[in-house]
């Protein structure tokens, strides 16, 4: 029998204190389409062996990225991760470590976090970085809240190329802060629309580069436009490897830089856990969410590491906290730092060039197919195609992707999965993991799907 410590009178008393009439009212902000009306269709009772067999069969329905030609990106990327990374993060001092509240026994963890911050600051071209966030989307939302605190304004503008998931998370966070969010419709080649309507009430504009369509954006005009009205430029990225080949956001005038660090050291993992990166100018550090590790010396003059800033609600009075980020992606942070250390600057630049060359080669092969048009001309390792049937009566990109899957090729992500009104767009990514044979298989599958 299940142990249920609360009776109906207990529940009624609690609901009365909260000020709602039923438990269902606590979930009113969750869309009805995302809520279950009844229990899911699984057996109520099974033995351990039967449960293991059932879950194994369910897991087998998923396909790993390495099981065949794979060209999906759009915010999560397949890269080779050296075996050294997984070997080191499984050491007990990393694998089981928690928040380093006691610096005298947490020097190893604190030093890794300090090195991580240094790497992120150098990668993004910024003065200071924090010791990670949950993922790129929540980092984006936190950056918007941070900008509104800094500027004491309540309006932000989101560019057309911002990843739709980042857009939705930001809107959700801002909804309860009474911050006005003005998103531009998602479509390639229209990032400049974000500058329309900017005024002295704007706290920030949010621009992604490379954006969700793969376009590399020159951030300098956006920085100048934002600063002209006293606002901040928040630069977003989903592919950190790109900074081995293109200008960093800091070099182009960004005030806050956020993004996803999964590409370096962290596998796809069917969607997580990932690691969010956040960096900013030195003058904004007091409003940075999360925590910052610093280097110091002890009473004996020996080098040591401490939590220099920790502006979350666990550490100071809740009403003074800059964020409700209660923990971070610590193990993913360590994996990122180990992989980055193994690469070094020269290795990162070489990896970036290999990625770009692969993408250019693949794009050339694909646009040679009748009915395929390249939408993004300036890209890194990801680009967008517009598909049409050369014989007329074209099919949506969603159906084309499905036809390629049937041929064993995961040939990109149809844009309609992320946004409305882009049924003919296919977002394609190529990395160092794609062989010439993979590309040839993609070409063959796409030709068959369009014929």
pLDDT, position 212: 98
pLDDT, position 1: 47
Residues 133 and 203 in one domain: yes
pLDDT, position 318: 63
Residues 373 and 308 in one domain: no
**Within-domain flag for 45:** no
pLDDT at 83 over 60: yes
Residues 387 and 292 in one domain: no
DSSP state of 198: -
Q: What is the pLDDT of residues 217-245, one digit of tens each?
A: 999 999 999 999 999 999 999 999 999 99
Residue range of the domain that includes 112: 83-341
Number of Cβ within 10 Å of residue 84's Cβ equals 12
CATH code of 351's domain: 3.90.1150.10
Supply the pTM of this predicted model: 0.91
pLDDT, position 2: 61
Residues 143 and 253 in one domain: yes
- What's the total number of domains in the chain? 2
Question: What is the spatial distance between Cα 115 and Cα 12, in angstroms, rounded to a whole number?
Answer: 51
**Within-domain flag for 10:** no
Helix locations, 246-288, DSSP H: none
Residues 325 and 396 in one domain: no
The residue from 322, 341, 360 where one domain ends is: 341
**Within-domain flag for 37:** no
pLDDT at 388 over 90: no
Residues 235 and 293 in one domain: yes
What is the average pLDDT across 186-192? 95
What is the average pLDDT across 420-435? 96
pLDDT, position 392: 60
**Within-domain flag for 371:** yes
Confidence class for position 133, pLDDT limits 50, 70, 90: very high
pLDDT at 315 over 70: no
Q: Which residues pair with 156 in a beta bridge?
A: 181, 204
Confidence class for position 357, pLDDT limits 50, 70, 90: very high
Question: What is the spatial distance between Cα 391 and Cα 371, in angstroms, rounded to a whole number?
Answer: 9
Q: Which H or E element spans position 399?
A: helix 397-406
Cβ contacts of 435 within 8 Å, gap of 6 or more: none
Confidence class for position 137, pLDDT limits 50, 70, 90: very high
Q: What per-residue string of b and e applies to 151-175 under the rule 16 or more CB within 10 Å gives b?
A: bebebbbbbbbbbbbbbebbbebbe
**Residue 192 backbone phi and psi in degrees, to 5:** -65, -20
Q: Which residues pair with 133 in a beta bridge?
A: 276
The residue from 324, 341, 358 where one domain ends is: 341
């Amino acid at each position: 029998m299940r142990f249920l410590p609360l009776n109906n009178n207990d529940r009624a008393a609690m609901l009365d204190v909260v000020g709602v009439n039923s438990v269902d009212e606590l979930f009113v902000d969750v869309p009805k389409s995302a809520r279950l009306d009844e229990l899911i269709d699984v057996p109520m009772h099974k033995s351990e062996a039967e449960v293991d067999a059932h879950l194994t069969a369910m897991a087998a329905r998923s396909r790993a990225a390495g099981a065949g030609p794979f060209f999906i990106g759009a915010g999560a990327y397949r890269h080779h991760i050296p075996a050294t990374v997984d070997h080191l993060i499984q050491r007990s001092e990393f694998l089981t470590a928690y928040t380093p509240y006691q610096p005298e026994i947490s020097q190893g963890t604190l030093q890794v976090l300090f090195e991580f911050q240094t790497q992120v600051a150098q990668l993004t071209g910024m003065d200071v970085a924090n010791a990670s966030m949950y993922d790129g989307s929540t980092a984006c939302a936190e950056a918007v809240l941070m900008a509104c605190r800094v500027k004491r304004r309540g309006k932000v503008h989101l560019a057309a190329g911002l990843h739709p998931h980042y857009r939705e998370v930001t809107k959700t966070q801002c909804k309860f802060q009474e911050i006005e969010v003005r998103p531009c419709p998602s479509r390639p080649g229209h990032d400049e629309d974000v500058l329309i309507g900017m005024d002295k009430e704007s706290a920030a504009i949010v621009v992604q580069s490379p954006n969700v369509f793969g376009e590399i954006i020159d951030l300098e005009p956006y920085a100048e436009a934002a600063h002209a009205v006293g606002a901040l430029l928040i630069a977003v990225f989903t592919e950190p490897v790109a900074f081995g080949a293109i200008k960093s956001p800091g070099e182009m005038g960004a005030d806050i830089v956020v993004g996803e660090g999964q590409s370096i050291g962290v596998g796809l993992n069917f969607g997580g856990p990932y690691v969010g990166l956040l960096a900013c100018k030195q003058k904004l550090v007091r409003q940075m969410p999360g925590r910052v590790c610093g280097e110091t010396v002890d009473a004996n003059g020996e080098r040591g590491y401490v939590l220099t800033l920790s502006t979350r609600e666990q550490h100071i009075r809740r009403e003074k906290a800059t964020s409700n980020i209660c923990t971070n992606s610590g193990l993913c942070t360590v994996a990122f730092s180990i992989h980055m250390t193994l690469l070094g600057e020269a290795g990162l630049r070489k990896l970036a060039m290999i990625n770009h060359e692969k993408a250019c080669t693949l794009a050339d092969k694909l646009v040679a197919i009748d009915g395929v048009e390249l939408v993004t001309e300036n890209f890194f390792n990801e680009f967008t195609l517009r598909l049409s049937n050369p014989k007329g009566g074209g099919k949506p990109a969603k159906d084309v992707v499905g036809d390629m899957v049937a041929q064993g090729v995961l040939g990109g992500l149809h844009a309609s999965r992320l946004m409305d009104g882009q049924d003919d767009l296919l977002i394609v990514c190529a990395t160092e993991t794609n062989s010439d044979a993979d590309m040839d298989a993609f070409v063959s599958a796409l030709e068959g799907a369009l014929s």
